[in-house]
Structure 1
Amino acid sequence: MIPVFKVAMAPDAPERVAEVIRSGRLEHGPRADALEAELGRRIGNSRVATVNCATSGLHLALYLLVGRDPYRHDPSPERDEVLTTPLTFEGTNWPILGNGLKIRWVDTDPATLNIDLDDLERRISPRTRAIVIVHWLGFPVDLRKLDAVLDRAERRIGFRPPVVEDCAQAWGATFGGKPLGNHGNTAVYSLQTIKLLTAGGGGLMVFPEAELHRRALRTRWLGIDRADDRARGEYVVPEWGFRFPMNELNAEIGAANLEIVDDLLARHRANAHHYDKELQDVPGLAHTARPDDREPTFWAYPVKVEDRPGFMRRLGEAGIETSIIVRRNDEHPAVAAAREPLPGLDSVAGRVCYLPVGWWLTDEQRAHIIDTVRAGW
């Protein structure tokens, strides 16, 4: 079976991990610090912090920006909604609940599968505490249009809601020629097992300004400023925090895979562009949009098909795995109270599925996928 996902691992990663184990230093230490520095260099923003997973990073980002702290005065308790998309993995949205805030769903743009920015603008209100956007499959949201939406919202409601960008699937993606994490918002990448850049687990936070970065380095480790406290020989906790740091094992895996990720990304993009060309005009199949102001990663390759069960069954018979990846989050009983009509998502939710597009595909396998899809289902 040709898989939709596969774990990428540098050839020297096992020996490098063994060396970490032999060193006896397993918790967050110099390897994690070195990986942070290199990731910041690659992104072009040195205000970065590694964490143990992207979900922790999203939780911490919301806490830093808008979280409720019972030991601090909340200046705006009436603002309790976070606007977000239901077309994502649950790890995007449950941190909203974990911060004591309410989810308010925003519709999906059927052309991109990203958050519908027109619907977002309609839903921003005085109750809006933050906005979470997802660069789904590594396809960047239109951040220029988002800025314009926020400018108008600030004039209308008197404040500008902070934005958290979920870049979980977007390592290497750019908007306006710049890597994600350089557009004025807090961004969170995933380094989870099946991501293009994997550390075997972990995440990366990227910040727009120094104070947020400083607080993140402290609050990811229970509120303890480890560098400052080492210098003093004691520690104090001016602001409580979490236990979210990346360990040395994950950091070394990430450092090893950082050396191969550019070639993997290039192969994903080449395969996707080949599909774009060869799967045009297939009856019952539609593609997502391809604006020229952004460069996606194509972590997975989406298609919108008629008779999705039949499509997936036919590909399975041909030895090709397909997937729907996630269930729309608004259907879960845990958040039933937040349910509301989302016609854009309704129009595509039963049609979207994903083809193998990754670095592991041979030319022969790619041709087999194309021939199978073109033959119909």
Structure 2
Amino acid sequence: MRRDEPAGKFSTTRRDVLASAGALAAGGLAGSARATSPEALAVDGGRPAVSIPTSKHADAFRWPLYGPTEEAAVLDVLRNPGYGPIDDLERDWREHFGVSYAKAHCNGTSAIAAMFFALNLPPGAEVLVPSYTFFASIVPMRLFGLVPAFVDVNPRTLNFDLDDARRRLTPNVRAMMPVHWMGLPCPMDDVSAFAREHGLALLEDVAHAPGAAYRGKPLGAWGRMSIFSYQTTKPLPAMEGGMGMYQDRADYERATSFGHSDIPAKFPADSPYRRYAGTGLGLKLRMNPMAAALARAQLAGLDARNTAGTAQVRRLNDRIAQLPGLVEPPCPADARRIYYANNILFLDESKAGASRAAIVKALQAEGVKAREHRYPLQHKMPLYAEAEWWHHKPLIPDLAGTEEANRTAIALPYFTSEVPELVDQYAQAFEKVWAHRDKLA
């Protein structure tokens, strides 16, 4: 659905929804461990709870959402070619996040590489980082002789586990980089205190969480440096692109000089990097101006989109999170989370009384786009077991929380358009499956 199209594109009425779902009792299992519907599960031949045709579901999950504003921004670059949109995006970004320094890059991975370069740590320095992340959070370290020190995640949040980080400390650890996974903020007061206690440079990977905040402070503004991604699936999509944010001028100038040969000429006269104008320090990481214009247009509507998407998730999760054994990731107090790509829940099979595989299969039969969520774990990739790529070979640990997360996570779609009938049918499908879960045991 285009952002300028009206909501309510499903013609199915509330009465149709309830009838097609077998007239589940009002309220279903909300606040209760049992349902009253006698209808058979769809996996056993009953009628699916989700009656809205699957051909119409794609609009409910469609991403990115571009409209006339984005089209006009890109057309303006075509009609007036130039690099001005990059400067415009950086200015708007600094104002939006309240930071002094920001530099756009061609993608989030290049922003991470520039950030690691800006650290200016000696070869062999280690960085605490979760294994439960995309490769780009880690692999660029090796270009500068840095080594990942893998840290476990909390299996109910998928975020950095500080208790495990304490166990992973070595004399070589010099920095740490939590990842705000799927838009859920890490508890940054505790994280910041940990970094200060151990004299570590604090970095943030905010690729999944632009617009999220902790205790009134935007994510990305807590660390010494942070990165964002504008890749197509991200909450602020510009097809490709990334942003680095920096608290200190020295970090900004060093990171910028790594991938931007033309920018050092604009540095103050006392900058040690000004003399590298015309060469930079190695790479060309400039963002495409069309992507910058697109990102800037998306930035203007970021908070509104995040708010609308969160409301959709709450409409579903506030209802189904009451079901026995179904666990929603807890959001830290005083935090504002957002959602990205998936709505992740966890199943405690002992409390649910059925296996994840059986429940997911039953939900799928009811018409729910659910799946068993297993994320590729970085510490198990061949790259980290091969010494030739690293200053010293990373330690490959046992990460119990990471393994548990992959055993228990269920991924639901993130509804990107307002589709209350479909959301309600999803809730009814969950309630129906839980009402008959003894048959799935």
Normalising by structure 1, we get a TM-score of 0.86
Paired residue for 1:335? Answer: 384
For residues 250-265 of structure 1, the aligned pairs below 5 Å read 250-265=291-306
- 1:348 CA displacement: 1.9
Structure 1 residues 46-80: Cα deviation after superposition (integer angstroms, max 9, x where no partner): 3111111111111110111035xxxxxx4xx4x43
Note if contact 1:10-1:256 (Cα within 8 Å) is conserved in structure 2.
no
1:55 corresponds to 2:55: no
For residues 301-316 of structure 1, the aligned pairs below 5 Å read 301-305=343-347, 306=349, 307-316=355-364
Q: 1:95 and 1:320, CA in 2 relative to 1: closer, same or farther beyond 3 A?
A: farther
Cα separation, 2, equivalents of 1:235 and 1:99? 19
Q: 1:149 and 1:262, CA in 2 relative to 1: closer, same or farther beyond 3 A?
A: closer
Letter in 1 for 2:90: E
- 1:235 CA displacement: 6.7
Q: 1:58 and 1:252, CA in 2 relative to 1: closer, same or farther beyond 3 A?
A: same
Give aligned-pair identity as a percent: 25
Structure 1 residues 283-333: Cα deviation after superposition (integer angstroms, max 9, x where no partner): 342121122221111223210124333344334334433453731222222
Find 1:326's aligned residue among 375, 380, 392: 375
Paired residue for 2:31? Answer: none
Find 2:427's aligned residue among 367, 370, 374: 370
Note if contact 2:185-2:336 (Cα within 8 Å) is conserved in structure 1.
yes
Letter in 2 for 1:331: K
1:295 corresponds to 2:336: yes
1:100 corresponds to 2:139: no
Structure 1 residues 80-120: Cα deviation after superposition (integer angstroms, max 9, x where no partner): 32211011122212222333322221111123210101111
Note if contact 2:156-2:346 (Cα within 8 Å) is conserved in structure 1.
no
1:164 corresponds to 2:199: no
Query: What is the number of residues matched between the two proteins?
Result: 355
Letter in 1 for 2:315: H
In structure 1, the residue corresponding to 2:68 is in which secondary structure? coil
- 1:45 CA displacement: 1.0
- 1:351 CA displacement: 1.2
- 1:226 CA displacement: 4.2
- 1:142 CA displacement: 1.0
Structure 1 residues 202-221: Cα deviation after superposition (integer angstroms, max 9, x where no partner): 11111111211122332221
Letter in 2 for 1:261: L
Find 1:245's aligned residue among 275, 286, 295: 286
Find 2:94's aligned residue among 33, 40, 44: 40
In structure 2, the residue corresponding to 1:64 is in which secondary structure? helix
Whichever of the two has the greater Rg, that structure is 2
- Give the aligned CA root-mean-square deviation in angstroms: 2.4
Note if contact 2:152-2:160 (Cα within 8 Å) is conserved in structure 1.
yes
Structure 1 residues 211-267: Cα deviation after superposition (integer angstroms, max 9, x where no partner): 1112233222148614369xxxx9746861321121111011112222322221111
Cα separation, 2, equivalents of 1:238 and 1:199? 28
In structure 1, the residue corresponding to 2:178 is in which secondary structure? strand
Find 1:208's aligned residue among 247, 252, 264: 247
Letter in 2 for 1:122: R
Return 161-170 or 97-106, whichever deviates more: 97-106
Q: 1:344 and 1:235, CA in 2 relative to 1: closer, same or farther beyond 3 A?
A: closer
- 1:198 CA displacement: 1.4
- 1:361 CA displacement: 4.3
Cα separation, 2, equivalents of 1:107 and 1:98? 24
1:7 corresponds to 2:64: yes
Paired residue for 1:151? Answer: 196
Letter in 1 for 2:306: L
Letter in 2 for 1:131: M
The runs of 5 or more residues in structure 2 that have no matched partner are 1-53, 269-274, 350-354, 387-394
Letter in 2 for 1:10: G
In structure 2, the residue corresponding to 1:133 is in which secondary structure? coil
Q: 1:66 and 1:319, CA in 2 relative to 1: closer, same or farther beyond 3 A?
A: farther
Paired residue for 1:70? Answer: none
